[in-house]
Amino acid sequence: MERRVGFVDYRLENFHANTYLALIRGDLAHRGFTVTGCWALDADAGREWANRNRVPWYESAAAMDPHVDCYCVLAPSNPALHEELCRAVLGSGKPVYVDKTFAPSLAVAERIYALADRHGAAIQTSSALRYTNVRRAVANRAESLAIRRVLDAAEDPEALTRLVAV
């Protein structure tokens, strides 16, 4: 089953857009993922990235919508734009992954989730950094009990409950 992904970003020329595209075309290709479109607020830079990477460019998220099954809202260096980008795609009701940092404030995050709920769109965010060697190195060297508790909470939901209770 093909899963058509649309990238939505501020510029598209960034580490995450390039890395996600490489993953989707590489390690995830056997799972049926393909990037079938992109749109960016900075149209000139976005169009250039799309041409260089052979990804179809659309003049708006609405124009891209018939060509995708789900969205990746990127703009990793511009989380203040995530709400605007989410407004452009959540109305479709399609699943949306929002890059980290999800939102610059709790109020913005709540508005984004409310918008997703209103349109019945599944929405997700995450950070793969918790699985890196850096996290393990910090855990191995952590002298502070507080740091160990935070790191443990990332691995064990019960530890998170205990951490919040402290």
Per-residue pLDDT, averaged over 7-35, amounts to 93
pLDDT band at 4 (very low <50, low <70, confident <90, very high): very high
- What percentage of the chain has pLDDT greater than the value 70? 76
Q: Please state whether the predicted TM-score (pTM) of the whole model is above 0.85.
A: no
Q: Which among 77, 78, 16 is positioned nearest to 49, based on CA atoms?
A: 16
What pLDDT is stored for residue 50 in this prediction? 98
Chain-wide mean pLDDT for the chain?
Answer: 84
pLDDT band at 60 (very low <50, low <70, confident <90, very high): very high
What pLDDT is stored for residue 151 in this prediction? 54
Distance of alpha carbon 34 from alpha carbon 23, whole angstroms: 10
Distance of alpha carbon 10 from alpha carbon 73, whole angstroms: 9
Q: Please report the DSSP string for the chain in residue order.
A: --EEEEEEESSS-SHHHHHHHHHHHTTTGGGTEEEEEEEESSHHHHHHHHHHHT--B-SSHHHHGGG-SEEEE--TT-GGGHHHHHHHHGGG---EEEPSS--SSHHHHHHHHHHHHHHT--EE---GGGGSHHHHHHHHH---HHHHHHHHHHH-HHHHHHHHH-
Residue bearing tokens 């580490």: 15
Q: Where are the domains of the chain?
A: 3-126, 129-165
- What percentage of the chain has pLDDT greater than the value 90? 63
80-84, 141-145, 162-166: range with highest mean pLDDT: 80-84
What pLDDT is stored for residue 161 in this prediction? 44
Q: Which among 65, 88, 79 is positioned nearest to 6, based on CA atoms?
A: 65
Given CATH 3.40.50.720, say whether it is the number of domain 3-126: yes
- pLDDT tens sequence across 96-148: 999 988 899 989 999 999 999 999 999 988 775 555 666 566 566 655 555 55
Per-residue pLDDT, averaged over 45-52, amounts to 98
Higher pLDDT: 58 or 127? It is 58
Q: Which among 44, 31, 99, 52 is positioned nearest to 71, based on CA atoms?
A: 99
Does residue 86 have a pLDDT over 50? Answer: yes
